Structure 1
Amino acid sequence: MGSLIGDVNGESYLQFIAAGMAGYTVLNSASFEGLYSAFTRMHVQRTWESILNTPMTLDDVIFGEWLWAALKGLFAGTAVLLVISIFQLAVYPTALLVIPCMVVACLAFSGMALAFNSIAPGYEFFSFYFSLFIAPMMILSGAFFPVEAMPAPLQVVSAVLPLRYMVDLARPLLVGEFPESFLLPIFVLLAYALVGLWVATVLTRRRLLS
């Protein structure tokens, strides 16, 4: 594909999509854990019910699921970062800063997934999340196609997607540069993480304790 597309914003297409692959990996892994695996523990295996027979509260369980899903996303993202490094697409030491960026992004993605999990009647419901949210976000967040080349309305949509901010942080760090702004992307990702956790807690309480 790179031989057909050529350079993108002054860098090879392989270098361009390296940050996109890292971002999409943490998105997919953290979301999968916060959806399918969390639903299995909550509804099928009834692991949550067993935990609630101990001094743990439902809030503790959800908080633990949030951290665990984020950790699974971080494991996957770190593995991709290693592959990127093997292909000499990462410049160190700045590339190491991609890891803390992944942590914040994973918390955002796991929070949103748990919020959706709290209203899911079954596994088939998660296909809506992947089809209506994750797939469009993968396309519109600059992971595999430059946002600047999109029509203006799509750029506006892109500006509110959390994956966009993960990619905006990772792309310059992988080539040895610092992002123009650290604060805005981190703030947006933290906002998604905390709001997602709060919504997941409120809706899961209503579902299981009402």
Structure 2
Amino acid sequence: MIEHLRQAPIPSLRFAAVWLRNLKVWRKLMLPSMLGNFGEPLLYLLALGFGLGQFIGEIDGMTYMVFLASGIVCSAAMTGATFEALYSAYTRLTMQQTWAAMLAAPMTVDDVVLGEIVWAGTKALINASAIVLVAALLGLVAGPEAILVLPVIALAGLCFASIAMVVTALSPSYDFFLYYFTLVMTPMLLLSGVFFPLSGLPDAIALGAQFLPLAHVVMLVRPLMTGGSIDAPLLHLAVILAYTFVGYWISAAIARRRLIR
């Protein structure tokens, strides 16, 4: 395993074929897939925004509905990328043996893993863009600068897909994913400023949240959607990029060890 980790992934443009294959398959199931991935975050936005919003009032000078909308966009990107990189990618890896078929072509494991990550990031962008559109229609977006949210969300999708791909490459079964959701996804969702500001947390927990990629995504997306200023944007981007690169490196190494005997 150490030898595989020492070897940096060397992808090629052939990863685009993996992305295109997944896109063609998804188009056949596009409507139910969109409803499932888009419906849950929209429900959170409307139920919590209109429900709790009446009792909470303003947060950081904005209504709770406005505050929550930007957080839900980020969480939609995280869950969209994660589910695709976990369940769908694992199905192609094990049950359908799609990865094995791809490796019979002039394609490497690094190409397949990168193609899966980029596709999961694309799904995240699609899901989050729909939430941004709904937020704009509800008047929860400050101005046209909110369009800059989309490249941030695309990068965030790659980040969360890369992390989830490590779990997929390691996993012996679907049940293994429950550990990731319980130990990683849920704490990150609750402690990254999606539903309430980090300033309301104890200092130690707020400091620990700075190491979570979702927190940095929220710190970039929320000002863009609400018209605020971004503090230390390069730091936030650097953290997201670091998780993306390291996640891809490790997942590719584990996948090589798993598939190449």
Pairs within 5 Å for 1:22-171: 22-171=73-222
Question: What is the TM-score with the length of structure 1 in the denominator?
Answer: 0.98
Distance 2:199 2:167 in 1: 30
Query: Identity across aligned pairs (percent)?
Result: 40
Structure 1 contact 111–196 (Cα < 8 Å) conserved:
yes
Deviation sequence 1:3-55 (CA, Å, 0-9, x none): 11111111111011111100000000000011000000000000011111111
Q: Is residue 2:72 matched to residue 1:6?
A: no
Deviation (angstroms), 1:114: 0.3
Match of 1:205 in 2: 256
2:98 alignment partner AA: T
Deviation (angstroms), 1:208: 1.2
Q: Which runs of 5+ in 1 are unaligned?
A: none
Q: What secondary structure is seen at the aligned counterpart in 2 of 1:106? A: helix
Count of residues in correspondence between the two structures: 210
Distance 2:258 2:91 in 1: 15
1:121 alignment partner AA: P
4+ runs deviating over 4 angstroms: none
Distance 2:84 2:106 in 1: 25
Distance 1:28 1:63 in 2: 18
Deviation (angstroms), 1:2: 0.6
Structure 1 contact 93–176 (Cα < 8 Å) conserved:
no
Deviation sequence 1:65-94 (CA, Å, 0-9, x none): 010011011110101111111111112221
1:175 corresponds, among 213, 226, 240, to 226
Q: What secondary structure is seen at the aligned counterpart in 1 of 2:128? A: helix
Question: What is the TM-score with the length of structure 2 in the denominator?
Answer: 0.79
Distance 1:197 1:101 in 2: 18
2:245 corresponds, among 182, 194, 204, to 194
Distance 1:60 1:174 in 2: 35
Deviation (angstroms), 1:181: 2.3
Q: What secondary structure is seen at the aligned counterpart in 2 of 1:143? A: coil
Deviation (angstroms), 1:202: 0.4
